[in-house]
Structure 1
Amino acid sequence: MEHKVIQDPILVVAIDVGSTHSGYAWQWRSAFKAKGSVEFNTNWGTGAPQIHKTSTSLLLKYTDDKKELPSVVAFGHTAESQHAHIQSDSQYQKEKHHYQLFKRFKMLLYELNKSNKSTDVQTESVDGFPQDILTIMFLFIKALKEDFLNKNKTFDTEDVMNKTVWVVTVPALWSQTTRGFMRKAAEMTGIADNNLLLASEPECAAVYCIHLPQEQQINMCNLGMPGTKFLTADIGGGTGDLSAVEVQSDGKLKELCNVAGERVGGQQVNEAFSQAMYDSFEGKTVQQLFEEATPFEIMKLEREFEASKLSIIPDSSEEKIKLSTPKLVREYITNNKIKFVDGAPISYNKNEETLEVNRVFVREKLFKTPCDLINATILKVLKEQPEIKIVVLVGGFAESGIVKQNVGDNIKKTFPDVKVVVPTSPFRAVLTGAVLFGHDPFIYKSRISRATYGVRTNTIFKEATHNPSKKWFDEENKVHRCKDVFDIHVKIGDSVSLNEALEAKTYTPLYKAQKEISIPVYESSEVGPTDGSVMYTTDSGCREIANIKVEIPTAEESSKRGVSVRMIYGGTQLSVIAECAHNGKECPAVIRFN
């Protein structure tokens, strides 16, 4: 939707809803022109780490009947702390069921993206309470937006907000439908259509890289130089998302291939640690004990491990990670009611009353699966694009010394001439790049189409080419037509420029009484026919993703009521322009994703 967003905004605010951590950043236009810094929020409440992101958590309060929209109590680190307090404080005993904590809900959208299911589905709170994912995402984006405005009250004026672009980041591998879901959630917060821009996370990271200061560019193989081809791997808490680009002579970026991605990241290490902890004890009693631990105890344990895992260096010694032990677990260990299995990587220090984890075990075992997945995904792209000689690691997981060395060593084995580099602030790459992208949304000169896109039409039936089962008789116009014809606009793998005038297709209403045309938009994972045959929207792998509503010109003659439709595929999200076929005037057109 880049072509619809206001140009030269006076302020850009980027919101990054991550799988495990989220945040926002902003920059005035004057600072962008002066190549100034992007600003971040690091104040996430009492006791929260003073970093530019907080946890992707949302604490809601429901009414007794749970029919009204819940109110936001807190988000991020504060939401987790308040939920733990409410669950443990007897003062809330009678009403604590009104408070529900939702965590890591973005991960559900990855599953929806893969399965092509409707986004009208339920997520669950940590206590198992159901809520539709759209409401949760809307309220979380709203909480971040309001936090920004509350901390920058002088920005919240009509003049400033009308000229502000809000950028919401999305994974590159998400479908048009899932991107449409995020747009809807953001628009529900009150952001107008022409003030909202979706931005691909690894693409934002690439933008960040080419805008780095010259001294950092030198340390990263001068990847901002025209002609340079590099691969950005955004590896965060829940996913690894890639983008391969070439820097053009004018400083803009050209996408080289379809993106790759996997559900992989730091959260996998956490999950593997939880399983290793259970496996370190005999029987299944310990798992029940952890489930009965207080929210405060679990929250403290999780935060301690999260902080420790990124500090482990590749050549770390036998020194152990010390973690707080929930009271019940501590009592059962002390009284010999539960015992460790032989050779367990986790032990108990009676003097300090802490669980101790072998750092070598964490490095060599818990990091192995996510690192293997990251390596496999990167190597696949490098094999397809042999001219790429630089791989840039960004995202929170890229701060781990283990990940840096593992990925670097594995790539070097297969591609010895490929350099793996990490910027000084990999955790800030996506948010910084998102702000820069908001100032210059046309920095991407072209992108590769993720699928084959087109519309469902009715055409004059041709006995020689059309399927007889698709034949129907148009009574008003006294002609046989073929239904469900997939009229292709762009094919999967095509390189499409954002400003490129793709071939417009003209559609005419079937009936004289029609005042608008409804055009269903479809995508397919297939390239489409190359032998002159016809593709149908009912074919396997083809699904409806959106609908275009176009107001029809008022001319009496049917020949002058045609609408020329041009869909824009080079942007972050699919969009449409419609014109009157006989005079070129733009027609009101709206595209709504399913």
Structure 2
Amino acid sequence: MVNSESYTKLVGGAWGGTMVDKAYERFLSDIAGPETFQQFKEEHMDDYSDLLRTFEVKKRETSPGHSGKVTFRIPPTFAETIKDATGLSIHDKILSSPFNGQVSYVSGKTRVDGQIAQSFFKQSVDSIVQHLESLLGERLNKEYTAIVMVGGFSESNILQDAVKCAFGRRYNVIIPEGAGLAVLKGAVIFGHQPSTISERICKYTYGQKVCHETTSACNHPPTRTKWVVGKLHCSDIFEKHITIGQTVKLEEEQMEMITSPCSADQTTIGETIYASKLSEPRLITEPGCIKIGHFEIHIPDTSLGTDRKFGTMFIFGDKEIAVKTEDKQTGQVHINSIDFLE
């Protein structure tokens, strides 16, 4: 059991089984030629999809250290496209490719040296192992004792062997039965019982765009200032509500921020929500900062002018972010759903 303080935010990269698929496609492209392979994909989409489906099965069966040949079934239209586009047979193209002597073609199947077949996995597997090394080396993750492998790619013998070799002495590597369906089952359970997940680790820093009157204490760049109702204001400021890596309980109100209208006759305050990969972003214009949505605060009574104050608090739900707005004069509370389509 690990306490919540040792959790980390969701992380990862494009290192899954699709990277292996792309390596296999590059292999076929090197044989046929890039333009010919692209022609095959466009003119024989069904056969191209079938090629990937059959490779998916073989991908899980390929074993580490296998020195013999590995057989891959190839649609007849692949060889036909090569012949029509280049005037050469697939045999001739293999002989003139970098795989001469390591690959052969017989009766609609390629016979590939085990070393080449395993090379399809190298970039993906190396990236996963290196990332796990980095992740498990972080101070907060020292209490972990096991690695659970789930998802379709976790059924790959090569990936399983690489993880066990790299971490088997330090961690208990668990591969549950039906690992490929674990994520799908989890999604179904969550759909029926959202309360099964009570906390989340924020993948980004979340906040809203604000501006305030410029004073001698401000240290924002001069280019980020503008005149508002005759007064100089610092603009494009990132006002942080949640920090990247922070644990948030579902439906729990976060820290309150106070906002006010810029002009006395203002009837609506438009608020824009931003996310950043930085822990302490200062401006919404910084690299890695993206707009993710907006909401509006309506001011039916403008009698207080710019002295009108509203408290805003983020609320993280099971699948969305909402903002609770409290009118500090009247005590009225509104829950604003974030429009993520803008």
Q: TM-score, normalised by structure 1?
A: 0.49
Q: Within 5 Å, which residues of 2 pair with 1:312-391?
A: 312-314=62-64, 316=66, 318-327=68-77, 329=79, 338=93, 340-341=95-96, 343-349=100-106, 353-358=107-112, 360-361=114-115, 363-384=117-138, 385-391=141-147
Structure 1 gap segments, 5+ residues each: 1-227, 230-245, 249-253, 530-534
CA distance in 2 between counterparts of 1:271 and 1:583 reads 60
Q: Check conservation: 2:155, 2:179, Cα contact below 8 A.
A: yes
CA distance in 2 between counterparts of 1:309 and 1:469 reads 54
Of 271, 279, 293, 1:527 maps to: 279
CA distance in 2 between counterparts of 1:363 and 1:335 reads 19
Q: Check conservation: 1:446, 1:570, Cα contact below 8 A.
A: no
Of 173, 188, 193, 1:440 maps to: 193
After superposition, the CA RMSD in angstroms is 3.4
Q: Quick one: which amino acid aligns to residue 441 of structure 1?
A: P
Q: Within 5 Å, which residues of 2 pair with 1:221-260?
A: 228-229=1-2, 246=3, 256-260=7-11
Report deviation, 1:495. 2.8
Of 400, 406, 427, 2:156 maps to: 400
CA distance in 1 between counterparts of 2:265 and 2:328 reads 18
- Confirm whether residue 271 of structure 1 aligns to residue 22 of structure 2: yes
Q: Check conservation: 1:255, 1:447, Cα contact below 8 A.
A: no
Counterpart for residue 237 of structure 2: 485
Q: Check conservation: 2:9, 2:202, Cα contact below 8 A.
A: yes
Structure 1 residues 553 and 363 mapped into 2: Cα distance closer, same or farther (>3 Å)? Answer: same
- Confirm whether residue 586 of structure 1 aligns to residue 333 of structure 2: yes
**Which digits, 9 at most, give the CA deviation of each residue in 1:531-550, with x for residues without a partner?**
xxxx3334454443322212
Report deviation, 1:470. 4.9
Report deviation, 1:574. 3.0
CA distance in 2 between counterparts of 1:284 and 1:557 reads 68
Structure 1 residues 437 and 293 mapped into 2: Cα distance closer, same or farther (>3 Å)? Answer: closer
Structure 2 gap segments, 5+ residues each: none
Q: Within 5 Å, which residues of 2 pair with 1:422-433?
A: 422-433=175-186
2:324 aligned counterpart, secondary structure: strand
Q: Check conservation: 1:391, 1:419, Cα contact below 8 A.
A: yes
Q: Check conservation: 2:267, 2:302, Cα contact below 8 A.
A: no
CA distance in 1 between counterparts of 2:123 and 2:90 reads 36
Of 25, 39, 57, 1:307 maps to: 57
Structure 1 residues 406 and 500 mapped into 2: Cα distance closer, same or farther (>3 Å)? Answer: same
Structure 1 residues 578 and 293 mapped into 2: Cα distance closer, same or farther (>3 Å)? Answer: closer
Q: Within 5 Å, which residues of 2 pair with 1:90-239?
A: 228-229=1-2
2:338 aligned counterpart, secondary structure: strand
Q: Quick one: which amino acid aligns to residue 137 of structure 2?
A: K
Aligned residues: 331
CA distance in 2 between counterparts of 1:541 and 1:322 reads 42
Q: Check conservation: 2:274, 2:290, Cα contact below 8 A.
A: yes
Report deviation, 1:555. 6.6
CA distance in 1 between counterparts of 2:38 and 2:236 reads 55
Report deviation, 1:499. 4.1
**Which digits, 9 at most, give the CA deviation of each residue in 1:275-321, with x for residues without a partner?**
2234457x779648846864444344333222222223346562531
**Which digits, 9 at most, give the CA deviation of each residue in 1:497-549, with x for residues without a partner?**
334432211222223433321012233333328xxxxx333445444332221
2:114 aligned counterpart, secondary structure: helix
CA distance in 1 between counterparts of 2:335 and 2:185 reads 35
Counterpart for residue 261 of structure 1: 12
Of all paired residues, the percent bearing the same amino acid is: 25
Q: Check conservation: 1:437, 1:443, Cα contact below 8 A.
A: yes
Structure 1 residues 493 and 292 mapped into 2: Cα distance closer, same or farther (>3 Å)? Answer: closer
2:136 aligned counterpart, secondary structure: helix
2:71 aligned counterpart, secondary structure: strand
Report deviation, 1:449. 2.8
Counterpart for residue 90 of structure 1: none
2:194 aligned counterpart, secondary structure: coil
CA distance in 1 between counterparts of 2:235 and 2:24 reads 55
Q: Check conservation: 1:265, 1:397, Cα contact below 8 A.
A: yes
Report deviation, 1:362. 5.2
Q: Check conservation: 1:293, 1:326, Cα contact below 8 A.
A: no
Structure 1 residues 371 and 520 mapped into 2: Cα distance closer, same or farther (>3 Å)? Answer: same
Q: TM-score, normalised by structure 2?
A: 0.81
Q: Quick one: which amino acid aligns to residue 483 of structure 1?
A: S
Structure 1 residues 573 and 363 mapped into 2: Cα distance closer, same or farther (>3 Å)? Answer: farther
Counterpart for residue 544 of structure 1: 291
CA distance in 2 between counterparts of 1:300 and 1:470 reads 55
Q: Check conservation: 2:6, 2:143, Cα contact below 8 A.
A: no
Counterpart for residue 204 of structure 2: 451
Structure 1 residues 551 and 359 mapped into 2: Cα distance closer, same or farther (>3 Å)? Answer: farther
**Which digits, 9 at most, give the CA deviation of each residue in 1:448-481, with x for residues without a partner?**
3333322222323312335455555544xx7554
1:428 aligned counterpart, secondary structure: helix
- Confirm whether residue 516 of structure 1 aligns to residue 268 of structure 2: yes
**Which digits, 9 at most, give the CA deviation of each residue in 1:143-182, with x for residues without a partner?**
xxxxxxxxxxxxxxxxxxxxxxxxxxxxxxxxxxxxxxxx
Q: Check conservation: 1:454, 1:488, Cα contact below 8 A.
A: yes
Structure 1 residues 307 and 552 mapped into 2: Cα distance closer, same or farther (>3 Å)? Answer: same
Report deviation, 1:382. 0.7
Structure 1 residues 356 and 564 mapped into 2: Cα distance closer, same or farther (>3 Å)? Answer: same
